[in-house]
A and B are shown apart, each in its own frame.
Chain A
Amino acid sequence: MSSLSIQHLLGLQNVPKEDITLILDSTDSFLEILDRPIKKVPTLQGKTVVNLFFENSTRTRISFELAERRLSADVVNFAAASSSVKKGETLLDTARNIEAMKVDIVVMRHSAAGAGHFLSERCTSKFINAGDGAHEHPTQALLDMCTIRQKHGTLEGLNVSIIGDIAHSRVARSNIYGLLSMGANVAVCGPPSMIPYDLEQLGVRVFSDVDAALDFSDVINVLRIQLERDAGADFPSLREYHNAFGVTRRRLDKLGREITVLHPGPINRGVEIESEVADGPYSVILPQVTNGVAIRMAVLYLIGTRAE
């Protein structure tokens, strides 16, 4: 295997196609490990990984932790709710103190965009971004791309639509950057109030008609409407959202052809996606979760063993 040109994985913007390809190619061998009776290899033995989660997460944190343990890394978990952050410690002080305990890799989730950039410029550990505000969530996009590639054999030339609240979505941004680098044609679809400013400049198509977006697409990635946010700020009601933008069996049937359905989870059934679609034959939502562990193993391996 060759090595990555990047030192940290802070996002997919400006990450070369060769690096993304290397991560996706490496994932196949890690998927094979997950199917073994003994799902553990000594690849990161002696390395210490800290999962710094300043924001609640279930699946991403478990996925990273499983990936780390299966590579035999020593794992430390940190959750802001029970940390010195509650006592007023700054992010930088927290990170420097943890780093002084001699860790090798920091996996960080944070509510502020750019938090990973901020720390990586001030610390010596290697950083993997597990989601920073509305900025990027690169391992999610990599697992999405891995899943699409499994289904379609390639990303080159595929038409992929991301449907939902694009403005606040780190998943959308990482998918846009990654998919464009890999040669896919990317569109987004959602209420105009949820499309960020000048997004077309990134080279994506913008739809506000979900049927038109479906018509364009070989693959759709349906984003969760964040019920914990004040949804009324950007659209009138969940009912109206579902009626206007929900991905339904009826809409897919109208297409008369197969379309691959992704969702980064957790799903709001009956809001952005119908159960019949989420659990239907075109859905790859559960393979996404499995691929997530393998993608994170690949990223940890490639970042953690990268020669300086």
Chain B
Amino acid sequence: MASFVFKNAHIVDPVTGLDAVKDVHVIDEHIENIGENISASGAEEIDLGGAHVVPGLCDMHVHFREPGFEHKEDIRSGAASAAAGGFTAAACMPNTDPVIDTASVVSFIYDKARGLAVDVYPIAAITKGRKGEAIAPMVELREAGAVGFSDDGSPVYNTKILRTALEYGSMFNVPIIQHAEDPHLFTGGAMNESIVSTELGLPPISRLSEDAVVMRDIMFTEYVNGRYHLAHMSTSGSAEAVRGAKARGLNVTSEVAPHHFSLTDEEVRSYDTNVKMNPPLRRMEDVIAMKEALKDGTADAIATDHAPHAGFEKEVEFTYAPFGIIGLETAVGLSITELLLENWLTLPQLIEKLSTNPRRILGLPEIRIEAGAKANLSFLDIARQWTVDVNTFKSKSRNSPYNGRTLTGKALGIYNNGQLILER
């Protein structure tokens, strides 16, 4: 039986409104008691020294690469990376091999994740094979446990397929998650179109590629009264479109990745393939737009788009390198450094973006830090300064542009499913 008393825990729970330093007693999967000076026989006491305890963080957009690409990451290593980054849940995208487009692959992922401290939730493909040509068996996938639908890595570009997905998908309480990209404008692109791409001679990806698809999708969502979620929003134009959609009361949500609120395309001047991702790093005004979107609620969630690649895959010419960076173990530090310390968000708002909202979007159970609730907790030291060292990461991959960067704020670990993973 697991029994712990977390002493001097600064609890911040946006759901219950609790913001106080207390002791928390957990037994197995539940919170037994929250109070002052708790002493429980047989329980291990852990003094958190005022570190924050918040509802378990949920990353609604990761790539765990299993099945098919286990040399980059597998569900076990991905979950370990999530736990080290303070996440108790992660929703994994379907661009695996085979694609998550049958119930058996959904079940395979749940089987692989069974017994882990981190809850892993599969997001299933919208179309068979993610080819954008025919709708996947969404009822079967939902019944097997898919928590959302996305062709992530590719857009649903065909307008008839998009309409069908939004209409057919509206019978489930989960979103159609779009990777917004116009393939005609994207072809061969390697970085954001800007003065930097002009100077470097790298094939450009224009902001129009994202903006045009988002605006079109919102029109469709309104027409069919669908439920739409924009993955990895990166441009001021798409933020404006989402803001307008929300103002009209549409069921539209969006997420922002930490690299899109912390880095600009100026980073590409190094030709470092660890700054090659899709959507690409944008201009400073887009970075500011992402922060404003998070502040005013246009962006509901922070999601990492954790995209592991083996070293040899990234150690090539920029044009030929795969898109994507890992993000689970730097997300909390970047969010605190860039958003909390710069006063874009308060801590409760930040927790909403990292925990409450992604769970709400995916229809996952709400987490409350109160006696009797499931013990699903993340531990954060929001004042700790640390220097990112990718060699200490739990992920199998090392493709992070933040190596060597000093951040303020660090995840210390998690408690979930009766398991404690804590940096001591």
B319 touches A112 (CB 8 A): yes
- Residue B224 lies at the interface, judged by CB distance under 8 Å to chain A: no
Chain B residue nearest to A172 in the complex (CB): B201
Chain B residue nearest to A170 in the complex (CB): B201
- Residue B288 lies at the interface, judged by CB distance under 8 Å to chain A: no
- Residue B103 lies at the interface, judged by CB distance under 8 Å to chain A: no
Residues of B within 8 A of A106 (CB): none
The residue from B201, B312, B320 contacting A135, defined by CB atoms under 8 A apart? B201
- Residue A208 lies at the interface, judged by CB distance under 8 Å to chain B: no
B202 touches A114 (CB 8 A): yes
- Residue A90 lies at the interface, judged by CB distance under 8 Å to chain B: yes
A112 touches B317 (CB 8 A): yes
Segment 193-219 of B: residues with Cβ below 8 Å from A: 193-195, 197-204, 206
State the CA gap A117–B195 with chains docked (Å).
19
A118 touches B317 (CB 8 A): yes
Contact A113/B202 with A90-B315, A90-B316, A197-B193 known, Cβ cut-off 8 Å:
yes
B317 touches A115 (CB 8 A): yes
0/1 string, A189-226, CB within 8 A of B gives 1: 00000001111011000000000000000000000000
Segment 1-45 of A: residues with Cβ below 8 Å from B: 13
A117 touches B315 (CB 8 A): no
Residues of B within 8 A of A255 (CB): none
A198 touches B316 (CB 8 A): no
Residues of B within 8 A of A62 (CB): none
- Residue A134 lies at the interface, judged by CB distance under 8 Å to chain B: yes
- Residue B386 lies at the interface, judged by CB distance under 8 Å to chain A: no
Chain B residue nearest to A110 in the complex (CB): B317
State the CA gap A114–B191 with chains docked (Å).
13
Give min CB distance, B322 to chain A, whole Å. Answer: 13
What is the count of residue pairs linking A and B with beta-carbon distances less than 8 angstroms?
65
The size bracket of the interface on A is: 20 to 34
Contact A118/B197 with A90-B312, A197-B204 known, Cβ cut-off 8 Å:
no
B201 touches A113 (CB 8 A): yes
Residues of B within 8 A of A114 (CB): 200, 202, 271, 317-319
Number of residues of chain B lying within 8 A (CB) of chain A: 20
A113 touches B194 (CB 8 A): no
B201 touches A136 (CB 8 A): yes
A133 touches B319 (CB 8 A): yes
State the CA gap A134–B197 with chains docked (Å).
10
State the CA gap A199–B197 with chains docked (Å).
10
The residue from A110, A134, A197 contacting B194, defined by CB atoms under 8 A apart? A197
State the CA gap A111–B316 with chains docked (Å).
13
Give min CB distance, A260 to chain B, whole Å. Answer: 26
State the CA gap A118–B272 with chains docked (Å).
8
Chain A residue nearest to B317 in the complex (CB): A112
The residue from A118, A132, A201, A202 contacting B201, defined by CB atoms under 8 A apart? A132
State the CA gap A197–B197 with chains docked (Å).
8
Give min CB distance, B130 to chain A, whole Å. Answer: 26
Residues of B within 8 A of A117 (CB): 271
- Residue A173 lies at the interface, judged by CB distance under 8 Å to chain B: yes
- Residue A252 lies at the interface, judged by CB distance under 8 Å to chain B: no
A92 touches B316 (CB 8 A): yes
Residues of A within 8 A of B271 (CB): 114, 117-118
Give min CB distance, A273 to chain B, whole Å. Answer: 24
- Which one of B194, B202, B203, B271 has the greatest number of beta carbons of chain A within 10 Å? B271
Residues of B within 8 A of A199 (CB): 195, 198
State the CA gap A91–B321 with chains docked (Å).
12
Residues of A within 8 A of B319 (CB): 111-114, 133
B201 touches A173 (CB 8 A): yes
A113 touches B318 (CB 8 A): yes
Give min CB distance, B138 to chain A, whole Å. Answer: 37
Chain A residue nearest to B204 in the complex (CB): A197
0/1 string, A133-170, CB within 8 A of B gives 1: 11110000000000000000000000000000000001
State the CA gap A214–B202 with chains docked (Å).
29
- Which one of B194, B203, B317 has the greatest number of beta carbons of chain A within 10 Å? B317
Give min CB distance, B95 to chain A, whole Å. Answer: 23
Give min CB distance, A169 to chain B, whole Å. Answer: 9
- Which one of B201, B204, B312, B320 has the greatest number of beta carbons of chain A within 10 Å? B201
Give min CB distance, A85 to chain B, whole Å. Answer: 12
State the CA gap A198–B192 with chains docked (Å).
12
Residues of B within 8 A of A113 (CB): 200-202, 318-319
Residues of B within 8 A of A132 (CB): 201
The residue from A13, A90, A110 contacting B199, defined by CB atoms under 8 A apart? A13
Give min CB distance, B63 to chain A, whole Å. Answer: 23
State the CA gap A13–B201 with chains docked (Å).
12
Give min CB distance, B59 to chain A, whole Å. Answer: 31
State the CA gap A199–B195 with chains docked (Å).
7
B199 touches A173 (CB 8 A): yes
State the CA gap A58–B198 with chains docked (Å).
27
Residues of A within 8 A of B197 (CB): 196-197
Segment 323-367 of B: residues with Cβ below 8 Å from A: none
Give min CB distance, A138 to chain B, whole Å. Answer: 12
The residue from A90, A92, A112 contacting B318, defined by CB atoms under 8 A apart? A112
Give min CB distance, B283 to chain A, whole Å. Answer: 10
Give min CB distance, B12 to chain A, whole Å. Answer: 44
B318 touches A118 (CB 8 A): yes
State the CA gap A173–B199 with chains docked (Å).
7
A134 touches B201 (CB 8 A): yes
State the CA gap A134–B316 with chains docked (Å).
17
State the CA gap A130–B11 with chains docked (Å).
61
Residues of A within 8 A of B316 (CB): 90-92, 118
- Which one of A110, A117, A170, A202 has the greatest number of beta carbons of chain B within 10 Å? A117
Segment 384-402 of B: residues with Cβ below 8 Å from A: none
0/1 string, B250-268, CB within 8 A of A gives 1: 0000000000000000000
Residues of A within 8 A of B198 (CB): 196-199, 201-202
The residue from A133, A134, A135, A201 contacting B195, defined by CB atoms under 8 A apart? A201
Segment 241-259 of A: residues with Cβ below 8 Å from B: none
Since A134-B202, A197-B206 are in contact, a sample of 8 more A-B pairs with Cβ atoms closer than 8 Å, ordered by chain A residue number, is A90-B316, A113-B200, A113-B319, A114-B200, A117-B271, A134-B201, A197-B197, A201-B195
9 A/B residue pairs, CB under 8 Å, sorted by A:
A90-B315, A91-B316, A113-B202, A118-B271, A118-B317, A118-B318, A134-B201, A134-B203, A135-B200
Residues of A within 8 A of B (CB): 13, 90-92, 110-115, 117-118, 132-136, 170, 173, 196-199, 201-202
Residues of B within 8 A of A (CB): 193-195, 197-204, 206, 271, 312, 315-320
